[in-house]
Structure 1
Amino acid sequence: MAGTYWSTATLTGGAGNDRLDGGSGDDTYRYAAGDGADVIQDADGNDTLLLGEGISAASARTTVQSERLTLLLAGGSVEMEAKAGKLVDRIQFADGTVWHARADGSGYVQILGGPLHITGDLKQGQTVSLDTALAKQEGPGKVSYRWERSANGIDWTVIAGATEALLLLSADLVGHRLRATMQSLLEDGKQESLVSAVSETVGSAGHGPVEAVRISGELMPGEPLAVSNTAVDMQPLWSADALGSVLTPAQAPLGKLGIPWDHPGALGRSIVSSSGHDYLAGTAGADRLVGLQGHDEYIVNHVGDVIVEGLFEGIDRVYASVSHTLSDNVESLTLTGTMAIDGSGNDGPNSINGNQGDNRLSGGGGNDTLHGGAGSDTLDGGPDNDWLDGGTGSDIYLFGRGSGEDTINEADRSTAARASMDVVLLGPGIAQDDLHVSRNRWDDLILNVVGSPDKLMLSGWFAEAGSAIDQIRFRDGSVWDAAKLTERSAMATRHDDYLVGTAGPDRLEGLAGDDTYVVNHAGDVIVEKRGEGVDKVMSTVSFTLTPELEHLELTGNGNINGRGNAGANRLLGNWGRNVLDGGAGDDYLAGGGGGDTYLFGPGSGTDIIDINDGDGTDDDRIRIGTGVIEQQIWLRRVDEDLELSLFASGDKLSFKEWFADDSKRWDRMELSNGRWLGAADVDALVSAMAAFAPPLVGQAALTSSYQTALGAVIAASWH
């Protein structure tokens, strides 16, 4: 898998042994437990390797052999080139622990490890400290500290003079929350930071004085009352005189203290939360629930319940046993119980979850995530880019013009899911000719509304039966079933198409655009015309590029072969033993894993061979075409590459990084006359030939003076 040079890419190999090449940008590589033995081919740029759950820093270890570093993980490994600037810059574990590459490329160091917590008694006059799971601090840099405080949890101010791991809580910190940052200087001058979790509010030293408070609001049914109070950690009880005019607050958090106010004849309550993380449950009537700062949770059990949240007042969740629409500034809705009820979002990004019954879920504006759960649900993401999962049952997905770029992930793989009927119902104004169907290399099915930015991706549609949407229904009554969708996905367009053959012999014909063809039968035929893009073939069988095809990638683990055409081709091998022949034209050949054989000879042009024998066990060979003898081959060093010239025909072959990395070397070069040259024999020839200018192109043999000077070393090197 390769990224685009000079751009940023995210590459995930998934299960199996993969080779990942992110190019020269700032790339992210993802590896999960069980992903196999992956190789990161190119780590230029500022790159990061993200490790999934279940892979800990304590269990991971590295080994270095022949300038190749192997990161040994639970159930797999990741291999990289162990040279300065070639290792992935950062390895980040799921718990926040980060390893950094040493400047010389010899391995990794752990500077900081998380998580980081503030511990101690959060009261005035006490001392708190930082507690981290950091096992060891390596590297040259001194760890420094920065403390910050905030009265509202949003706006943060640096605490002057607080530069150690301990902090004495002064009076001016009462009523504030704290957070701290550990920083360490790396070998390359970069700085790594680890930020703590936010603390609770700092309290006063003891019991404060009795305070006068002001109650706001009117004594009207359904209206909230609030009391302002800046003291904390005091525990008097609520009390009132006979007229209800004097109130003493119970333990009051900073900010507003909610007072549930009942009034004869009122149908419900008005409840105001504190500024912390609160759990507010309404009554059996219609309630008004008011949240403040903090991540609040609301229990809604009446259709008349109203929730009030302000902007930037935390991530708030509603659990509703009745149909409910999220009010502004509330982020999440979960329907509870088994009743057939509905849930709707607001104009922000929402998470909406169905219950065990049949639900209708609507996202509204924003990028929403909808989970249907059990039951037969109807899901409508609304405008913007949404992620939809109907769960079990026969689900209906609504999609139309203006829906944005949505993704359907029917993730249930159960037998019951395969027996269900999942349908996409298209909106008005979308006819069959308006829908372009395509497939990508991750087995997703893509539906594009022609002439609009609207797009629906059916995730993993080709991969597993449980992922399959069964029908696409148009408003005129037309229906596309799975067979029709598969047929439409194989139809070429003037865009970049991903065309996959069947199990039998196929004729795949592309149009304009940079097309990718997946070949899985020796009888497959691909037809492309001149000037119709840069096209690629991915094949599980031996394949020869036909004219107007540019790239060939062999896939799987089979011992198969690849051959180019007369153009400039890029040929990539798989994990088996491959024979690669670029043919005429200037070609790039890389064999991948396994012992590979590369063909080159008169008429091959100017080719590049990029060998990657990570563990040194592969038997890689170069075969030179008929009629070439050892006295017609000239070897020289060009930077870190080894260059071979057939000076009689003018053809050249470069072996990338031959002199920089032993794993980039072939084992034998063979001639048609039976003579062969070993990798260990190259240095003597290169050293001897370096004293002379290369022979002229077209020269049939070495001159007598060259033969006199070089004949002995040539004879000794070729066996």
Structure 2
Amino acid sequence: MSADARNSTLAVAAAGETIIRNNNANTIRGTDGVDTLIGLGGDDTYYVTEGDTVVEQPNEGADRIIAGYSMTLPDDVEHLTMTGDANLSAVGNGLANSISGNAGNNRIAALAGADTLFGSKGDDTLLGGSGNDQLLGGEGADFLDGGADFDLAYGGLGNDTLIGGAGSDELSGEEGDDSIHGGDGFDSLFGGDGDDTLKGGSDNDSIGGGAGDDELHGNAGNDSLHGDDGNDVLIGGAGSDIMQGGAGRDLLNGGSANDRLSGEDGEDTIYGGLGADLIEGGNHDDLIHGDEGIDRLYGGAGNDTIAGGEGGDLLGGGLGRDKLSGGIGSDTLKGGWGNDTLNGNDGNDDMSGGADNDRLSGNAGMDTLSGDNGNDTLNGGSGNDFLNGGAGADLLNGGADADKIYGGAGSDTLSGGSGNDRLMGGQHNDALNGGAGNDSLIGGHGKDRLWGGTGNDTVSGGNHADVLHGNAGNDFIYGNRGNDSLNGGYGNDYLKGETGNDTLVGAAGSDTLYGGMGHDALYGGTDQAIDYFVFVTTSESVGKTADIIYDFQSGTDKITLSNIDADTSLDGNQGFNFNGASASEHHVWYETRGVNLLVHGDTNGDGKADFTITLANTSSVTADDFML
């Protein structure tokens, strides 16, 4: 045995020799044989061969062993560098070790302490153990397990497997197709380049896929997942997660709880899962499913397909030609810009088409449909629905049950369908059809065409020259302003022209025709039913603007004058007497004029006509033809 107390920094042992150095930073090199190397104090470096023994003092410098064989670090030695290309293993000693592998396939276990493990080349296994460790895989397909506590792990080149274990870890696959598992703790996982699989574990994790087609799993906890580039799969799992697909064609599934999902760039497919989710499609053609819960779903740019699923959801198409389906529950659907298709499905839904030419279907439930701008098609479906066409030439159909339908601006077509419906045309030239049921139709502004359909309908023309048909049923038809055309159709109808030069046709049934102001043409119908022609004031039929009854049937039809006061000099309402062909004060008489008959009446007592009614192609009348 030799002892050297000099300040030399290099000592080479002979075979079987024991070298004891001083407190300086020594370099001690063993040789073939079984050597014992003792460094004492200082930062010592040992070059050892198999069989050598290294002895260090506690807390005496940061020491390193350089070896080409498998070994367990001796006590009080901090660092190990493995050489050569053999497949070696190394085990730490509980200190804060730094262990570097060689070019072979190494297995390095650090035990306790804040350790740094570097795999270098080869397919390495790095085990951090307890303590806050740093693991670097280097080249090759490496397996890295941080163990307990807070660990940093970087896979490097190759297809690596990284496991965080217990503790809040930071794991990065870097290059290659990596598999990364966070385990327990609040972990940060990043895939890097390659097609990676990342799983978060039980706590609140942050996961980024990086480049490549990645698969990200949040598992339990409130996680943040970002797919980055590539066609990625993101699954939130349990917890309220935040998920962003990034570039590429991504698949996102929020899982349970209340999640926030965004497809971002690319044609994405997004499922909210359980819970009240917020989903944004992004910039391309996306497929979005809210699933269960009260969800908020926005397509963004692109031609999107959005389904609300169960719950009262909010769906917004955004830009593009979108398809929105509310699903089960009372949903709100907004088409946005583009030619959109909206389906409310079950529940009492609120739907608006937005800009451009949209198609809205309420389906079941008491729905509210608004076309907004554009030439829209609205179908209420079953339930008591409210439809508003908005601007543009719209087509509105109430469907089953009692609906309220408003055309709005534009030349619209309104159909009530079955049920007792209320239809109003709006601002332009509209067409209204009540369909089955007892309907109320109002033309509004414009030259409108109205059909009551079957049932006992109320049909009102509005402000311009309208065409009104009662169709089957006992209908009330009002021309209002303008030169209107009224046709009662089948049934016992009431027709009132009001202002304007109107044409009233009672058609089949016992009808009541009241022309109102203007030069009106009245047709009771040629059947044998009794028609009533009503006059309320003398100003309604005077001189050249006198009304004409074209198909009066003496002995069947009635001219009703009971609302006109025969003697205006007296209080109250006095009735007329019929005086045949002779004029007389406060009487009604007739005058033959060619093939027509003129019926006159005097109200002021001068024996001259204060009103006149023309009966076309009529030769005579009797007192029984009047209700005086």
Q: How high is the TM-score relative to the length of structure 2?
A: 0.34
Instruction: Work out which structure has the larger RCO, using CA pairs closer than 8 Å and 6 or more positions apart in sequence.
Output: 1
Structure (1/2) with the larger helix percentage: 1
Q: How high is the TM-score relative to the length of structure 1?
A: 0.30
